[in-house]
Amino acid sequence: MSVLRVALEVPLATLFDYLQPPPDALPAPAQPGDRVVVPFGRRERVGIVMECVLASSIPHERLKPIVRVLEDAPRLPPDWLELMRFLASYYQRPLGETVAGSLPSRLRSVKTLPRRKPRAPSAGEDTSRARFVSSNEPNPAQADAVKRIGAALGGFKPFLLHGVTGSGKTEVYLHLVARVLERGGQALVMVPEIGLTPQLEARFRHAFPRENIAILHSALQAGARTHAWLDAARGDAGIVLGTRLAALTPLPRLGLVVVDEEHDTSFKQQEGLRYSGRDAAVFRAKVAGCPVVLGSATPALETWHNCRAGRYERIDLPERAVPGAMLPRVRLVDLRTDPAAHGFAGASVAAIRGRLARGEQSLVFINRRGYSPVLACEACGWAAGCERCTANLVLHAVGKRLRCHHCGWEERIPRACPTCGNPDLRPVGRGTQRVQETLADLFPEARIARIDRDSARRRGELQQALEGIRRGEADLLVGTQLLAKGHDFPGLTLVCVLGADQSLFSTDYRAAERLFATLAQVAGRCGRRGQEGEVLVQTKFPQHPLFGALVRHDYSSFAEAQLADREGAGFPPFVHEAALRAEAKQLEVSMDFLREVAASVSPPGDVRIYDPVPHVITRRAGYERAQLLVQSRSRPALQSLLASWSERLFAGAPRNVRWHLDVDPIEFD
C-alpha cells in the first residue's frame, strides 16, 4: 500500500494523497497516525496520516512523496483517529481542521519538539507514601456507587451519578480512579471550566501524591499544554484532568472517563468544531471499552432521558456527605407582598443582617454583571444601544462607561439624552456592581467581595479572591454564575437570589432547565459544613412549578415535567436538532442564503426544515444574523441532510455570507 491519505489544516473537506518515499529514505514506512511533513504548494506542512490505501484517484505521476515522519511524539493511536473521523462527520467539519484543532499548537509545526529531560525524583520526595490517600471513608451510598461502577471496569458502560450538591461525588471519582490506576489504566476526568480546576486539582494531588497528573485546558501556555498532552499520549500520566478539550487527547490505557457537572453548557464548544465534550467523552469510553460516569445534581435532560430509556444506569447520592450537613432550606420571598427596595425585599435584608450578626457569610446571586443593563431617558424613552448590535449598552460604574456585552464596544456616558436633550439619564435594572453599591449602603460595616468576569479578568485574580472568601475575608459576596459553580465556601450559610424571574418565561425551551440547574448550584454553595443553610429566592411568581421543585430539592419531578413538555412540543431529546446559521452585512442576504440552502436538497422523510428566522440579537458586531432549524426523529436522516448541505457549502458558498452548522445546538440567541 503506497498511497498515504493525509489530513492537513486547510478549510477543505478532503484528505490529501501522498506517496510513501522509497524504502531507503525512511527508517520505516509511514503508518496511520504518523505526523508527517509534506510538500504543499511552495511550503512544507505537517499532516496526520489517516489511512494507507492502494491507489489514489489522482494520477500517480502527480503525487509527491512525503518529506519525513516526525518521531518526537508518539504515533496517534487508531482509536484517536476513529474519534477524529467521528467528530468531523458528526459535527460536519473538515477532517483536517478537526485533527489540527485537537493537537497542541507545537505538534502542528514542522519544527521538532525540544527533547525533555526525564523527571528525576526530587530530593526528599517521599516515595514510601501510599498511592491513594483517601480522606474519607465512603458512606453507604458512596460505597454502593464505587462498587457498582467498579464492577463495570473493563467494559463500556455509561452511568449517571446523580448526587445532590455536596453528596460526595468527587469522593466517588477518587475511589474509582484509584481502582483504575491499580489496574494499570488511565483515568480521564473532565470538568466544565478552568475556574473549577484548582480546587479539584488540589484534591486529586492530595489523593494521589505519587501519580503524574496531566492538567489540560485552553488557558495553558503552549509549552505546558504540549507537555501535559504528551504525558497523556505516552501513557505516563495516570490521570488526565481537564476541560472539554481533554476529551480529544490520545490515551493509550484509558480505563475510566468521568464528566463532572455533565449538564454544564460550557462542555459544548461554540465555534469551529462545535462538539460536545460530554458526548465526545461517551464516544471515547465506548471505543476504549470502559465505563463513563456523568456526574451532576441537575443532569442534562438528554442524560436523564437516556437513563429512563435504559441506555445509562442511574446511581443516586440523595444526601450530603459531611455528617450533619443538610441540604439548605429554600424559601421563596414573594415580591408582591414584600416588594423590593433597591433590589432587596425586606426578608432578604433581615436575613443578611442576621448572618452578619452571627459572623456568617452571605451570598447575593444575580446573573448579570455591570452596574445596570440599560441607561435610559424617562422623558422620551431613549435607551443607550450598541450601534453594531441589536442590544442595549450595559452601564459599568468603573470608569463610568457604557459597554456592549456582545461585541465589546465601549463609550462614555452621554451628558444628556441624544434625542431630547434631557440631562437626567437613569440606570434601569441592576447588575452586580449596583447590588454591591446597595449592600455597601445597607451594611456599611460589612466586607463585600464581588465576583464576576469584570472583577476577575485573569485566572489568578479569581483564584485569589475565592481563596480569600474561603478564609473568611469577606462577609458578603455578590456574584454571577462564576460564583455558583463547584466552589466550597465553609462559612457560607445564606444565599439570596435576585432576578430569577427573568428567565422564567423565556422563548428558549432550554431556559427552565438552565435556571433550575443554576439555582440548585448556587443554593448548593451554602450550609456545607453542618450549620443550617438557607436560600431565599425573590420572585413575583412563587406558585411557579419550577420553584416548587426547587424548594423540595426535587430535581426528578422537575425533569419529568420538563420531559413531558418537550415530548408534547416535539423538542429534544425527543427529536434531534441542528441549526444552520448565517451572517452577512444585510439581513436579507443571510435570509436568502438560508432559503436557498433549504431549497437546494429535498429533505429525506421525517426531516423537518423550519423557515429561517433572524436571531433575537439580530445584529452582532455589524453582522445581521439568521438561522434555520432542522429536526428529525431519525439521526441518520438528519445527518444525511446535513452532509449534503455541508458538501455543497464547503464546495462553494457565496463569499458575502459567513455560515456554520451547529449539531445539537444549545444556544439560540
Give the residues lining the site for ligand ADP (CB under 6 A).
136-139, 142, 163, 165-171, 321-322
CB of 147 to ligand ADP, least distance (A): 14
Q: Which does 167 bind (CB under 5 to 8 A by kind): ligand ADP, Zn ion, none?
A: ligand ADP
- Which lies closer to Zn ion via its Cβ, residue 73 or residue 587? 587
CB of 628 to Zn ion, least distance (A): 24
- The crossing angle, in degrees rounded to 10, of helices 78-90 and 277-288 is 140
Q: Which does 242 bind (CB under 5 to 8 A by kind): Zn ion, ligand ADP, none?
A: none
- Please state the φ and ψ torsions of residue 291, each to the nearest 5 degrees: -70, 155
- Residue placing its CB nearer to Zn ion in the complex, 422 or 463: 422
Residues 494-523, one symbol each (x = binds Zn ion by CB under 5 A, - = not), give ------------------------------
- When the beta carbons of 139 and 265 are compared against ligand ADP, the nearer one is 139
Out of Zn ion, ligand ADP, none, what residue 166 binds, judged by CB under 5 to 8 A for its kind, is ligand ADP
89-93 contacts at long range (C-beta below 8 A, 24 or more positions apart)? 89/639, 89/643, 90/275, 90/639, 90/663, 91/273, 91/274, 91/275, 91/661, 91/663, 92/642, 92/643, 92/645, 92/646, 92/661, 92/663, 93/272, 93/273
Query: Which residues are CB-contacts of 624 (< 8 A; sequence separation ≥ 6)?
Result: 583, 584, 585, 586, 587, 589, 590, 614, 618
Residue 379 interacts with, from Zn ion, ligand ADP, none (CB under 5-8 Å by kind): Zn ion
**Least gap, CB of 627 to Zn ion (angstroms):** 19
Nearest distance, CB of residue 616 and ligand ADP, angstroms? 34
Closest to 295 (Cα-Cα) out of 196, 212, 173, 389 = 173
**Contact between 394 and Zn ion per CB under 5 A:** no
User: To the nearest whole angstrom, how small is the minimum distance from the Cβ of residue 638 to ligand ADP?
Assistant: 35
Q: Which of 217, 355, 406, 528 binds Zn ion (CB under 5 A)?
A: 406
Q: Residue 138 or residue 427: which is nearer to ligand ADP going by CB?
A: 138
CB of 488 to ligand ADP, least distance (A): 6
Smallest CA-to-CA distance from 474 within 442, 508, 448 is with 448
Query: Which three-class secondary structure string do you get for 274-325?
Result: CCEHHHHHHHHHHHHCCEEEEEECCCCHHHHHHHHCCCCEEEEECCCCCCCC
- Which residue number, 346 or 421, has a Cβ lying nearer to Zn ion? 421
Where does residue 329 rank: exposed (0-12), middle (13-18), buried (19+ CB within 10 A)?
A: middle
Q: Which does 308 bind (CB under 5 to 8 A by kind): Zn ion, ligand ADP, none?
A: none
Query: Which long-range contacts (C-beta less than 8 Å, at least 24 apart) are formed by 17-25?
Result: 17/56, 17/57, 17/58, 17/63, 18/63, 18/64, 18/65, 18/66, 19/60, 19/63, 19/64, 19/65, 19/66, 20/52, 20/65, 20/66, 21/65, 21/66, 22/65, 25/65
Choose between 92 and 142: whose C-beta lies nearer to ligand ADP.
142
Cβ closest to Zn ion, residue 346 vs residue 381? 381
d(CA 547, CA 537): 9
CA pair distance 550, 552, nearest whole angstrom: 5
- Give least dist CB 559 to ligand ADP, A: 18
Are the C-beta atoms of 653 and 580 separated by less than 8 Å?
no
**Residue 469 in contact with Zn ion, rule: CB under 5 A:** no
For 311, 331, 610, the CA distances from 574, given in Å and listed in that order, are: 15, 34, 17
Site string for Zn ion, 409-448 (x = CB under 5 A): x-------x-xx-x--------------------------
616 contact choice in ligand ADP, Zn ion, none (CB below 5 to 8 Å, kind-dependent)? none
Contact track, Zn ion, 369-388, x by CB under 5 A: --------x-xx-x---x-x
Task: Choose from Zn ion, ligand ADP, none: what does 441 bind? Cβ within 5-8 Å by kind.
Answer: none
Residue 591 interacts with Zn ion (CB under 5 A): yes or no: no
Residue 171 interaction partner, one of Zn ion, ligand ADP, none, beta carbon < 5-8 Å per kind: ligand ADP
Cα separations in angstroms, 33 against 37, 85, 88, 231, 537 = 13, 12, 16, 17, 54
Question: Is residue 663 part of the contact set for Zn ion (CB under 5 A)?
Answer: no
- Shortest Cβ 264–ligand ADP spacing (Å): 13
Tell me which of Zn ion, ligand ADP, none is bound by residue 21, counting a contact when its beta carbon lies within the kind-specific cut-off of 5 to 8 angstroms: none
Shortest distance in whole angstroms from residue 451 CB to ligand ADP: 19
322 binds, among ligand ADP, Zn ion, none (CB under 5 to 8 A by kind): ligand ADP
User: Of Zn ion, ligand ADP, none, which one does residue 106 interact with (CB within 5 to 8 Å by kind)?
Assistant: none
Q: Is 23 exposed, middle or buried (0-12, 13-18, 19+ CB in 10 A)?
A: exposed
Q: Give the nearest distance from C-beta 376 to Zn ion in angstroms.
A: 8
CB nearer to Zn ion: pick between 45 and 396: 396
CB of 399 to Zn ion, least distance (A): 18
388 interacts with, out of Zn ion, ligand ADP, none, CB within 5 to 8 A per kind: Zn ion
Q: How far is the CB of 17 from ligand ADP (least distance, A)?
A: 50
Peptide bond just before 573 cis, omega within 30 deg: yes
Closer CB to Zn ion, 401 or 544, in the complex: 401
Q: Which residues pair with 536 in a beta bridge?
A: 331, 496
Toward Zn ion, which CB reaches closer, 410 or 596?
Answer: 410
* Contact of 69 with 30, CB cutoff 8 Å: yes
382 binds, among Zn ion, ligand ADP, none (CB under 5 to 8 A by kind): Zn ion
Q: Would you say the C-alpha torsion 292, 298, 303, 308 has a positive or negative sign?
A: positive
Which option in ligand ADP, Zn ion, none does residue 422 bind, with CB closer than 5 to 8 A by kind? Zn ion
- The cell for 652 is 462553494
Cβ distance to ligand ADP smaller for residue 319 or 334 = 319
Distance of alpha carbon 316 from its chain centroid, rounded? 23
Least distance from C-beta 206 to ligand ADP, angstroms?
A: 11
Number of CB atoms found within 10 A of residue 640's CB: 16
Which string of x and - marks every residue 202-241 that binds Zn ion (by CB under 5 A)? ----------------------------------------
Q: How far is the CB of 392 from Zn ion (least distance, A)?
A: 10
* Spatial CA neighbour of 47 closest among 39, 55, 56, 38: 38
At residue 257, the 3 state secondary structure works out as strand
Nearest-approach distance from CB 367 to ligand ADP, in angstroms? 21
406 interface partner picked from ligand ADP, Zn ion, none, CB below 5 to 8 A per type:
Zn ion
DSSP secondary structure string, 177-195?
HHHHHHTT-EEEEE-S-GG
Are residues 307 and 294 in contact, defined by beta-carbon separation less than 8 angstroms? Answer: no
Mind giving me the DSSP string for 510-554? THHHHHHHHHHHHHTTS-TTSSPPEEEEEES-TT-HHHHHHHTT-
The CA distance from 297 to 291, in Å, is 20
Considering the complex, state which of residue 298 and residue 632 has its C-beta at the smaller distance from ligand ADP. Answer: 298
Q: How far is the CB of 622 from ligand ADP (least distance, A)?
A: 43
Binding interface with Zn ion (CB under 5 A): 377, 379-380, 382, 386, 388-389, 404, 406-407, 409, 417, 419-420, 422
